[in-house]
Amino acid sequence: MKSVLMGNHSVSYGVMLSRVKVIAAYPITPQTQVVEELSELCATKKLDATFIKVESEHSALACVLGASLAGSRAFTATSAQGLALMHELIHWAGLGRFPIVLANVNRAMGPGWNIWSDQNDSLSQRDCGWIQLYCENNQEVLDNVIIGYKIAEKVLLPVMLVYDAFILSHTYEIVDIPEQSQVDQFLPPFKSEYKLDVENPACFGGLTSPEHYYELRYNMQQAMEQAVEVYKDAQREFKEIFGRDYPMIEEYRCDDAQYLYITSGSITSTARIVVDELREKGYKIGLLKIKTFRPMDKAELIRLLKGREKVFILDRNISVGVGGIFAQEIKAYLYGQKYMPEIYPFIIGLGGRDIPPSSIMEAFNYAVIENKKPEDILYIGLKK
Amino acid sequence: MKKRFEDKKPVIISNFREMPPMSMSLSTMRWNFTGSWRYLRPYYDHKVSPCHAGCPGGQNVEGWIRLMEEGHYEEAIRLLREENPFPSITGRVCFHPCELKCSRAYFDKSVAINNLERFLADHTNPDYKIKKEEIAGSTGKKVAIVGSGPAGLSCAYHLLRLGYEVEVFEAEDAPGGVLRIGIPEYRLPKNILSREIKILTSAGVKIHTRKRVGKDISYDSLKNYFAVFLATGVHKSRRLGIPNEEAEGVMSGLEYLKKVNLKERIFTGKKVIVVGGGNTAMDSARVARRSGADVKIIYRRTRAEMPAWEEEIEEAINEGISILELTIPKKVLVKDSKVVGIQVQRAKLGEPDSSGRRKPEPIEGSEYDIECDMILSAIGEEIDEDALPEIKISKGNVHVSKDLSTSLKNYFAGGDIIDQPHTVIDAIASGKKAAIAIDCRYRKLDFEEVLKEISVGEWGAISMLVYREKYVFKNFVSPTVRLSKETVDPKSINTAYFQPSDRSQMNKISLSERSNSFLEVNLGLTQPQAMNDLLRCFHCGRCTMCDNCYIFCPDNAISHKKNGFGYDIDLDYCKGCGICVTECPRNAMGMEKESKI
Ligand SMILES: Cc1cc2nc3c(=O)[nH]c(=O)nc-3n(C[C@H](O)[C@H](O)[C@H](O)COP(=O)(O)OP(=O)(O)OC[C@H]3O[C@@H](n4cnc5c(N)ncnc54)[C@H](O)[C@@H]3O)c2cc1C
Ligand code: SF4
Ligand code: SF4
């Protein structure tokens, strides 16, 4: 059924369709409507779930972890400082292998106190063992909640669903709300093998000696690597049922491209327009949209970049001291590979600064029209 | 998932494939005796609730509230009557010091204990009977009690249950003391009083009315009794000490109340002045008001210093009685030897006197006259030495030792004639204490030692139930016997677990219904109101099996007792973190040091 939904409500509907059993969340701008809608869905019994009111994000995630360990499909949502407050338990969720979904609205970290879009909040959690799914539009937001549970429950890693503050969270778009029966077909009830069970008691998250800790982390890395295939399988199945497709790395007009933009999140839509314009002018240019950040489909990335001339990576984030985080990751994957393009790492739109097509065009102008050399960090739109 | 090993020893894994995905125990964790980390140990306690210690009569308030909550009303009233024979009476007229101590008073408003007590008494079998098995084996001893007020009757009740033959001697036509002749019908209906007294007489207490000891029969005739308990009360009104006090129309408030209470014919004036600020003053004023008089109370100090119960003052004002504060009576104005008015003088408050209250100082030249045709003096009562045998008096009270024994051999005393607050529950408490002291003599027990064992909290309350179970029946069954010595500090209640809630307000009859009538003013709580206040009780210091400890213990060391009430702590695994104790909402747990081996 087609409907007009804001990004936040798209999440709520995804949660409802996934038949989540326990929700614990603390409201924060720009995530608040996710929680509001869910509490309403619970109150009106459209969703048969326990909604737990909590006093902080830390408690929210703690509740969700407890519920998950007890065998329930569980959900929480947050943003920026809220995510940061969860940090201790973000580790716990990852390292404890909890198959939960957390929706994070990308919002700039304060101070400078700021509520607008910026990827630093989610990316700063990248080492905690989470799968991160970046979304371009509201349809993708809704669908990815459902896909999120599918892969999380297969590989036993938590999934963070990531989408831009306001640009998606508060913007209404046409969204096709899937049929419950179809979702049920795609996403069977959560059956947890490792859970609290009075018949077979065990202690979870207890003291782990040097004797065993190392292997636990090794196994996690294996799970993250397997997640690539698990994601692809899930994707295929999703496409069969719903007709929509979200590849880990999506190509746009790449076939003969000499130049490529690499983007993530809602910037991608704007970049598509820029690519179209440049194609019209006769430039051989395309776009790669990075959908999953951890895991990265390394083989696919290398295949797609091989033989290109120049690549412009747009990072709406900055790891201070290094630069754009996507650029840093991608560069690392390419090290030692042959026939790799020149990488132009651009920082753009921090703290929600608007990114019109002209800003994205600047990257192309710099690298191609002006034919300048790449640097470690390049800045677009900096007031000089 | 693979069934985990039951081995009580740790499992070592030799390669990553055998590893579970997350850190989890592969055997049970029973090999890990976390109890060895402990240096403090939690324990369950049955502490003294503040209400229990705060009732001078030592009533286990929390205990009967709990029974009521569970719907066991008859058991609740039996528990209550272990300490206090007159719940229908105290439930109406007690000044409820217990409520001042109630932990809930420190949170929002105290539990309506007094109203609940009345509710319980009003909603249980009116033909209550003292059971045969309650009465201890006969001691073969007789005790005489002089005076049938609350002190005398309480002593009679407890002695009867301890196996004594009891005879009460009462000067008036009917028993009850102030309860009958002082407190008016609209506060304590006489049928309620008679019903409570009947419980005693039908169990064998003999009451001889119209027998003033020292007049109708001699004190000497009591010499064959094993003991005598004096509880003659204070009935001699203090004189005003102003000119023309003997005029017709001047009367003591207590005498006036007595006449009205005993339904004697009595003329009430049209304009009545009541002198005083105590309960007698309030009662006299409200009674006169009910007879249609215009009533003014004159008091030397201000309302804040009045010894009367605040609720009484409020009701007096509600009923249209005016209070003239800082007003000193100077002279009764007389015409044809009848009262026609009173001359008074204005005063201001000076330095505090020996009672701690600020002393009124007359203002020169501020005298004025008030017209009236009746003056009721109610400035206090004192003991009537004529009613007593030759006995040591100190500071206006009968002198008693710790065990309430007097200077006369085998004579004990209690109630208003000894140095204690003049209230019904204090009178009842002293009757009970004397009964124990007398029984200790019979059983050759050291009273002071016994007192240590049976005291409830540190404010002087004692428990008859504990006494009986420990020294008389010698069957330590009730939990009260295991009472710890610690009284719960309201600050120790974990109020995070409680929500503020309104205290029930009792309904009263309207003001128009009160004029010309002695209908009971307070209507008692309704069932929902009572339920509301029962549920407000924190159950201070007493486990309710709320399961908090059980839920919070991180080591699963706490389990439900297999058969029965309470929990077991598995000390092999309790690591002594104390979370259970912190999370107990009602301080029913404690931590103690592990003893050194
Ligand atoms: C008007 C008034 C209102 C009160 N209101 C309250 C109230 O609302 N709440 C409260 O808690 N307290 C109240 N009090 C105080 C309370 O009533 C007394 O503290 C309590 O009754 C004292 O009990 P008692 O047994 O010592 O003496 P009393 O109740 O005075 O009883 C003594 C009895 O002994 C009898 N007696 C005296 N001499 C002899 C003798 N020689 N031989 C035989 N019998 C004798 C008397 O006739 C009397 O019946 C009030 C007091 C008064 C005067
Ligand atoms: S007798 Fe008085 S003090 Fe004791 S419980 Fe009843 S109201 Fe409270
Ligand atoms: S809250 Fe209940 S147990 Fe605690 S003091 Fe008040 S009446 Fe007693």
pLDDT block averages, 10 residues each, chain B of length 597: 55 85 81 91 93 96 96 96 97 96 97 98 94 95 98 98 98 96 96 97 97 95 96 93 92 94 87 95 95 94 91 94 95 93 94 84 94 94 90 95 96 97 97 98 97 93 94 75 80 95 95 89 96 97 95 93 91 96 95 80
Residue of minimum CA distance from atom 1 in ligand 1 = B280
CA B416–ligand 1 middle distance (angstroms): 7
Among the residue ranges A214-223, A262-271, B240-249, B263-272, the one predicted with the least confidence is B263-272
For chain B, list the domains and their CATH numbers: 34-47+542-593 (3.30.70.20), 49-234+383-479 (3.50.50.60), 241-247+265-381 (3.50.50.60)
Nearest CA to ligand 3 atom 4: B540
SS3 B284: helix
Q: Do B295 and B285 contact (CB within 8 A), yes or no?
A: yes
Of B4, B19, B26, the CB nearest to A215: B19
| C-beta of B284 in contact with ligand 1 (< 6 A) | no
Mutate to test the pocket of ligand 1, among B168, B197, B228, B232 (most ligand atoms within 8 A of CB): B232
Whether A324 contacts A344, CB under 8 Å = no
Chain B contact for A202, CB < 8 A? Answer: yes
Using a CB-CB cut-off of 8 Å, the residues of chain B touching A206 are 23-25, 29
Tell me how far the alpha carbon of residue B51 lies from the centroid of ligand 3, in angstroms: 5
User: Chain A residues with CB inside 8 Å of B12's CB?
Assistant: 211
Omega into B360 within 30° of 0, i.e. cis? no
The helix (H) or strand (E) run that includes residue B331 is strand B327-335
* Average pLDDT score, chain A: 97
Task: Note the pLDDT of residue B564.
Answer: 83
Residues in chain B within 8 Å Cβ distance of A223: 21
Whether ipTM tops 0.85, in short, is: no
Burial B314-336, CB ≥16 within 10 A → b, else e:
ebbeebebebebbbbbbbbbbee
Among protein residues, the one whose CA lies closest to atom 6 of ligand 2: B114
Which ligand places an atom closest to the C-alpha of B148?
A: 1
Dump pLDDT digits (tens) for A281-301: 999 999 999 999 999 999 999
The atom of ligand 1 lying closest to the CA of B431 is 25
Does A203 contact chain B (CB < 8 Å)?
A: yes
Q: Which residue's CA lies nearest to atom 8 of ligand 3?
A: B51
> Best substitution site from B88, B117, B311, B462 to test ligand 2's pocket, by max atoms within 8 Å of Cβ?
B117
Distance CA A55, CA A260 (A): 46
- What pLDDT is recorded for position B1? 46
Q: Please report the domains of chain A, with CATH numbers, ordered by start residue.
A: 2-242 (3.40.50.970), 249-379 (3.40.50.920)
Name the residue among B32, B35, B98, B93 with its Cα closest to residue B65: B98
Residues 6+ apart with CB under 8 A from B5: B11, B26, B27, B28
Q: Which residues line ligand 2 (CB under 6 A)?
A: B 55, 57, 59, 61, 84, 90, 94, 96-98, 113-114, 117, 425
User: Under an 8 A CB cutoff, do B15 and A205 touch?
Assistant: no
- The CA B60 to ligand 2 mean position distance, Å, reads 10
Chain A CB contacts of B4 under 8 Å are 200-202
pLDDT at A75: 98
Q: CB–CB of A200 and B3 under 8 A?
A: yes
Q: Whose CA is nearest to atom 5 of ligand 2?
A: B55
Q: How confident is the model at residue A197 (pLDDT cuts 50, 70, 90)?
A: confident
Q: Which helix (H) or strand (E) element contains residue A74?
A: strand A74-79
**Does A156 sit within 8 Å of B23, measured CB to CB?**
no
Structure tokens at A121: 């909040």
Nearest to B493 by CA among B541, B537, B534, B459: B541
Work out the average pLDDT over A104-124. Answer: 97
Taking CA atoms, B148 is separated from B130, B144, B163, B171, B415, in Å, by 19, 11, 19, 9, 11
Tell me how close the Cα of B494 comes to any Cα of chain A, in angstroms.
18
Q: Which residues contact B293 (CB under 8 A, 6 or more apart)?
A: B268, B269, B270, B271, B272, B374
Token pair of B357, please? 């209250």
Give A25→chain B minimum CA distance, Å.
Answer: 21
Q: Which of A200, A211, A212 sits opposite B4 (nearest CB)?
A: A200
pLDDT tens for each residue of B260-301: 998 888 888 899 999 999 999 999 999 999 988 999 999 999
Compute, in angstroms, the gap from residue B424 CA to the centroid of ligand 2: 10
Segment A7-45, tens digit of pLDDT: 999 999 999 999 999 999 999 999 999 999 999 999 999
β-pairing verdict for B358-362 and B338-352 = antiparallel
pLDDT in tens, A323-334: 999 999 999 999
For residues A271 and A265, give the distance between their C-alpha atoms in angstroms, rounded to a whole number. 11
Residues with Cβ within 8 Å of B162's Cβ and at least 6 positions away in sequence, in order, are B136, B139, B435, B439, B468, B472
Q: pLDDT tens digits, residue range A231-244?
A: 999 999 999 999 99
- SS3 track for B136-173: CCCCCCEEEEECCCHHHHHHHHHHHHCCCEEEEECCCC
Strand order in the sheet with A159-164: A50-53, A22-25, A74-79, A101-106, A159-164, A131-134, A292-293
| A215–B24 C-beta distance less than 8 A | no
Best probe of the B interface among A157, A214, A219, A224, by most B CBs < 10 A, is A219
Distance B234 CA to ligand 1 centre (A): 7
Evaluate if residue A104 carries a pLDDT over 70. Answer: yes
